[in-house]
Amino acid sequence: MPMILVGASIAAAIKQEVAEEVKALAARGVRPGLAAVLVGHVPASEIYVRSKVQACAELGLYSDLITPPDTVTTAEMHALVAQLNARDNIDGILIQLPLPPHVDAKSLLDAVDPAKDVDGFHPVNAGRLLAGRPALAPCTPAGVIEILKRSEIPIAGQHAVVVGRSDIVGKPVAMLLLHQNATVTICHSKTRDLPAITRQADILVAAIGRAGFITPEMIKPGATLIDVGMNRLNTREEFDRFFKGNAKREAAFAKGGSVVIGDIDPKAFEISGAYTPVPGGVGPLTIAMLMANTVRAAKMRRGL
């Protein structure tokens, strides 16, 4: 039977470690602080940001939720970022995406002080990550590494195949795997004979954003499957393609009219050695790693 890599338990362990670090810093008069900027009213973003603020409260971090209206201009957002860069009680700045179309998101992310870039999106942090120097790594890729290490999945010497080349997940997770001495192949939409490459993977990371894209025929039996995808199935046809006969998912679909699925066809999990489920796999690690990054930023900024 494959091992199920449950993200919630690993995230809980990381949060406990963060809480202990926060207590230790408090004894030195330091309280890490996170500023979360949420523009307008996007229900999914509101839920996500408030869960981050709640996590700060639970772990003893200071948090400041800032909610500009969706009419805010790029110039006004730049002024806000400059204020947050200057505040000593703020160690991490999180700008929740997506932003309204008229706001230049890229310029804002670049305007965040790299020392406070807890999302790890700034080019300076991307360059430090590439060079193997101390950096704030993007939360989801960092969470993937934590899942592997804490589940005692060997990384060094393994062939890791990453399907997806985004700046947020694909590229940074490839770099982090490389730094753990894996042999890494990055695949994407232009890769020729993709199944021939994915079948070589000891560790397969799927981050391409397409529901059930990785099929059982595309994996090596016994491989570790890390599913970063989060897609929603809204039609009966889509649902039946992946979950027909699954009573638990059927009940969820009947109740909510949709279910979530990753980038890996669930049937592939049956022949794997270990896998992260969707939901409940990589997802819970993202907020835990954001908390860890905020504490790390607080320590790095103060030379601790």
- Catalytically active residues are 52, 96, 119
Radius of gyration in angstroms for the set of CA atoms belonging to the chain, rounded to a whole number: 20
Residues near 55 by beta carbon (within 8 Å), at least 6 away in sequence = 15, 61, 287, 288, 290, 291
Half-sphere exposure of 191 (CA within 13 A, CB side): 17
User: What is the amino acid identity at position 237?
Assistant: E
23: exposed, middle or buried (Cβ count in 10 Å: 0-12, 13-18, 19+): exposed
Asked if 211 and 238 count as a contact pair (C-beta separation under 8 A), the reply is yes
Residue with token string 């430090």: 128
> Where would I find the H helices in the chain?
7-26, 43-59, 74-86, 105-111, 123-131, 139-150, 170-179, 194-198, 236-243, 247-256, 266-269, 283-301
The CA distance from 139 to 124, in Å, is 16
**Hey, which residues does 185 pair with through a beta bridge?**
161
Phi, psi angle pair for 42, to nearest 5°: -110, 110
